[in-house]
């Protein structure tokens, strides 16, 4: 399914999070920037390929394939308690771009590619889990990534 309106991302990021959170923002460190994401239990701040622009966002359930279509693919655990997942950019929050899911634990695979100046295509694939995902995974790394080993699995909430 395609989410509307188009996502406007800025500060090289956008958010995927549980609708029940009041703020999906994560405090980025240099290590988070090198791995392309920062996360909390119910929120993911996804690093974008471009600094700012817009993106077409498609959501699917199950596996993300074929991976070769994307410049960057990262799989990250996410807990959804409210039954709704929101996707928005820092300057849009809160946006009316959400969809229903069953509450529970998910593996969220995010595929990204640049399709033209200031425009990305993003595919978000959600897979419901019965056992928590132990670690995030970088499945396709673009040249901008230089991830730490192990990946940083938590981020602080920024000060208001």
HEC assignment per residue over the chain:
CEEEEEEEEECCEEEEEECCCCCCCCCCCHHHHHHCEEEECCEEEEECCCCCEEEEEEEEECCCCCHHHCCEEEEEEEEECCCEEEEECCCCCCCCCEEECCCEEEEEEEEEEEEECCEEEEEEEEEEECCCCCCCEEEECCCCCCCCCCCCCCCCCCCC
108-147 pLDDT, tens digit per residue, is 999 999 999 999 999 999 999 999 999 999 999 999 999 9
- Looking at the domain assignment, is residue 72 inside a domain? yes
pLDDT of 94 over the 90 cut: no
- Looking at the domain assignment, is residue 25 inside a domain? yes
- Looking at the domain assignment, is residue 160 inside a domain? no
Rounded mean pLDDT of the chain?
A: 96
* Residue 25: per-residue pLDDT: 95
- Looking at the domain assignment, is residue 133 inside a domain? yes
- Looking at the domain assignment, is residue 127 inside a domain? yes
- Looking at the domain assignment, is residue 145 inside a domain? no
Share of the chain above pLDDT 90, in %: 94
Q: pTM for this structure? A: 0.96
User: 113-127 burial, b if ≥16 CB within 10 A, otherwise e?
Assistant: bbeeeeebbbbbbbb
pLDDT of 81 over the 90 cut: yes
* Residue 55: per-residue pLDDT: 97
- Looking at the domain assignment, is residue 151 inside a domain? no
5-28 pLDDT, tens digit per residue, is 999 999 999 999 999 999 999 999
**What is the arithmetic mean of pLDDT over 76-101?**
94
pLDDT of 34 over the 90 cut: yes
Number of domains in the chain: 1
102-116 pLDDT, tens digit per residue, is 999 999 999 999 999
* Residue 154: per-residue pLDDT: 96
CATH number of the CATH domain containing 108:
2.60.34.30
- Looking at the domain assignment, is residue 12 inside a domain? yes
* Residue 160: per-residue pLDDT: 75
Residue 15 · residue 89 · CB < 8 Å: yes
**Structural domain boundaries enclosing 102:** 2-140
* Residue 100: per-residue pLDDT: 97
């Amino acid at each position: 399914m395609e989410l509307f309106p188009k996502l406007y991302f800025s500060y090289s990021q956008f958010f995927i999070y549980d609708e029940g959170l009041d703020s999906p923002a994560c405090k980025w460190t240099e290590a988070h920037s090198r791995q392309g994401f920062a996360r909390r239990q119910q929120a993911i701040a996804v690093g974008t390929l471009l600094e700012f622009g817009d993106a077409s966002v498609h959501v699917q359930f199950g596996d993300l394939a074929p991976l070769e279509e994307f410049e960057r693919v990262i799989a990250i655990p996410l807990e959804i308690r409210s039954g709704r997942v929101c996707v928005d950019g820092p300057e849009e929050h809160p946006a009316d771009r959400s969809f229903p899911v069953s509450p529970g634990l998910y593996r969220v695979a995010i595929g990204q590619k640049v399709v033209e100046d200031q425009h990305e295509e993003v595919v978000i694939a959600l897979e419901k889990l019965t056992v928590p995902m132990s670690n995030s995974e970088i499945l396709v790394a673009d040249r901008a990534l230089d991830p730490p080993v192990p990946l940083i699995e938590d981020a602080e909430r920024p000060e208001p």
